[in-house]
């Protein structure tokens, strides 16, 4: 189950990056949503480059 959650988290972050790059969300919104998603999917260590 953890692999599925990790994959879902990565997928959601990539979609958020796309929205950020398109200028549809701000960097602040991006960071808040990433935190919410990490909590939802149970992600402990986040390393985004």
49 and 16 in contact (C-beta within 8 Å)? no
Looking at the domain assignment, is residue 49 inside a domain? no
Domain count, the chain: 1
pTM of the model: 0.82
How far is Cα 12 from Cα 8, in angstroms, rounded to an integer? Answer: 6
Q: Quote the pLDDT of residue 30.
A: 96
Q: Quote the pLDDT of residue 45.
A: 73
Looking at the domain assignment, is residue 47 inside a domain? no
Looking at the domain assignment, is residue 30 inside a domain? yes
Residues 6+ away with beta carbon under 8 Å from 38: 9, 46
How far is Cα 21 from Cα 23, in angstroms, rounded to an integer? Answer: 5
Q: Quote the pLDDT of residue 37.
A: 94
**Structure token digits, residue 6:** 């990790």
How far is Cα 36 from Cα 23, in angstroms, rounded to an integer? Answer: 20
Q: Quote the pLDDT of residue 1.
A: 66
Q: What is the mean pLDDT of each run of 10 residues along the chain (49 residues)?
A: 87 96 98 94 77
The domain in which residue 17 lies consists of: 2-41
Q: Quote the pLDDT of residue 44.
A: 79
């Amino acid at each position: 189950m953890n692999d599925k959650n990790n994959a879902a988290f990565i997928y959601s972050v990539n979609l958020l990056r796309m929205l950020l790059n398109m200028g549809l969300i701000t960097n602040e919104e991006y960071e808040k949503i990433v935190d919410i998603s990490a909590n939802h999917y149970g992600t402990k260590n986040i390393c985004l480059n």
